[in-house]
Amino acid sequence: MSEICAIEGVPVIQLVGPLVLGYQFNWALFGILSVQMYIYHQANMPDGRFVKTLVYGLYLLETVQTILATHDAWHEIALSWGNCLGLLGLYWAWLSQPVISGIASATIQCFYAWRIRLLSKSTPLGLFIAAIALMQGSAAIAEGVSVLVTQNVPGTQVDTFKITTVWLGGTAACDVIIASLMVYFLSRSRTGFRSTDSVLNKLIRIIVETGMATAIVAIIELSMFLSFKHNFYHIVPSLMLSKLYSNSLLVLLNNRLTINYRRDSEFTGSDVSRRSRGDVEAIRPRGAGVLQVSIGRETYNDSIAMVKLPQDMIHGEEASGSRKHHDEEFA
């Protein structure tokens, strides 16, 4: 293949290089998503049918996206080696990148909008976030259809820059709004109890990290799309975006295991003596050689953690929907 593409006068490295990196990142993130999916399935989370359908449906969608991206990689990099015309072919890119990314991101953002509605008890706020999510998802689908109709891959950045701006700009804005609201409402839910606040701090950190990651990648893709014409620099973040959204959701769901494991370890027998000044209310003998220990505990509102916490992992705590004290006795 010549160093300069004869069709657009673009250096080949600006076309092939981003494709190679983008497809590699796409496969790497799919591998991470598969591990997250395996952990979720093995943990047998007590989620409702809606959440489980969402999780498994997203994984199926990402599997289809990976298959389509692999098909395009084979045709662009392998079969079209030395042929610049084949390198600029559309193939399934119109579906695997804007359309599937828009569907995945809009679905996950609507899920967060539903959880924010439960946390804030404000239906208009949830509908506002869902409207932004559906707007950017619709723009992503319109982007894919527009590219399919024009079949002009080199001119995509010129032909569809308005639609792409709405899509990626709306995606980033929605992520920032969701992360900000989640941090605000979770911060207000602090109770002063160390175990509860520890869970809330961990959730806040996860939400900020995952929400900002997807927003930053969307902004980078939009910047490259608008700044660098007639090359494929924007393909690298484009092939990563939908996988990042799916991974962010699975990371949040699977971190319930870590949260509950920490809470289990905090209340083991070896920890009782170390926390005697704070949580142990009474230690008194009852019967021959038996110690009765009463430890102050609090329950968790399942809406705080975005999803229901597994009840069999929380020492039999009642899911009452409000924080209250109760005593757990250890013989």
Tokens of 175: 């992520």
Beta bridge partners of 297: 326
Measured distance CA(317)–CA(177) in Å, rounded = 33
Beta bridge partners of 294: 282, 329
pLDDT given for residue 278 in this prediction? 44
Measured distance CA(68)–CA(71) in Å, rounded = 5
State yes or no: pLDDT of 315 exceeds 70.
no
Give the list of residues 6+ apart from residue 19 with CB closer than 8 angstroms, or none.
Answer: 73, 76, 77, 232, 235
Query: Of 244, 263, 282, at which residue does a domain stop?
Result: 263
Residues 171, 74, single domain; the answer is: yes
Q: How confident is the model at residue 234 (pLDDT cuts 50, 70, 90)?
A: very high
**If we measure between CA atoms, which residue out of 147, 105, 109, 144 comes closest to residue 126?**
109
Number of domains in the chain: 2
Cβ 191 vs Cβ 323: under 8 Å:
yes
Residues 230, 307, single domain; the answer is: no
Residues 276, 185, single domain; the answer is: no
Does residue 109 form part of some domain?
yes
Tokens of 78: 């392998």
The CATH number of the domain holding residue 220 is: 1.20.1070
Residues 203, 245, single domain; the answer is: yes
Query: Of 232, 247, 263, at which residue does a domain stop?
Result: 263
Across the range 277-281, mean pLDDT stands at 43
Q: SS3 letters for 138-191? A: HHHHHHHHHHHHHCCCCCHHHHCHHHHHHHHHHHHHHHHHHHHHHHHHHHHCCC
Measured distance CA(33)–CA(162) in Å, rounded = 32
Does residue 5 form part of some domain?
no
pLDDT given for residue 86 in this prediction? 80
Q: How confident is the model at residue 124 (pLDDT cuts 50, 70, 90)?
A: very high
Does residue 99 form part of some domain?
yes
State yes or no: pLDDT of 183 exceeds 70.
yes
Residues 290, 255, single domain; the answer is: no
Task: Provide the Cα torsion 154, 158, 160, 161; round to 10°.
Answer: 130
Does residue 6 form part of some domain?
no
Tokens of 178: 């969701």
Residues 68, 215, single domain; the answer is: yes
Identify the residue whose tokens are 């995952």: 210
Measured distance CA(80)–CA(16) in Å, rounded = 11
Residues 299, 253, single domain; the answer is: no
Handedness of CA 122, 124, 128, 134 (dihedral sign): positive
Residues 167, 212, single domain; the answer is: yes
Does residue 237 form part of some domain?
yes
Tell me if residue 198 falls in helix, strand or coil. helix
Query: Of 248, 263, 278, at which residue does a domain stop?
Result: 263
Does residue 50 form part of some domain?
yes
Residues 208, 100, single domain; the answer is: yes
Residues 112, 138, single domain; the answer is: yes
Domain limits for position 60: 13-263
The whole-model pTM stands at 0.78
Tokens of 325: 């004290």
Q: How confident is the model at residue 97 (pLDDT cuts 50, 70, 90)?
A: very high
State yes or no: pLDDT of 21 exceeds 90.
yes
Residues 276, 212, single domain; the answer is: no
pLDDT given for residue 180 in this prediction? 92
Q: How do residues 33-78 score in pLDDT, each as one tens digit? A: 999 999 999 988 888 899 999 999 999 999 999 999 999 999 988 8
Does residue 46 form part of some domain?
yes
Looking at residue 191, its amino acid is T
**Range with the lowest mean pLDDT among 2-11, 80-89, 285-294?**
285-294
Residues 120, 203, single domain; the answer is: yes
Does residue 1 form part of some domain?
no
Measured distance CA(54)–CA(40) in Å, rounded = 13
Mean of pLDDT over the chain: 79
Task: Provide the Cα torsion 247, 248, 252, 258; round to 10°.
Answer: 60
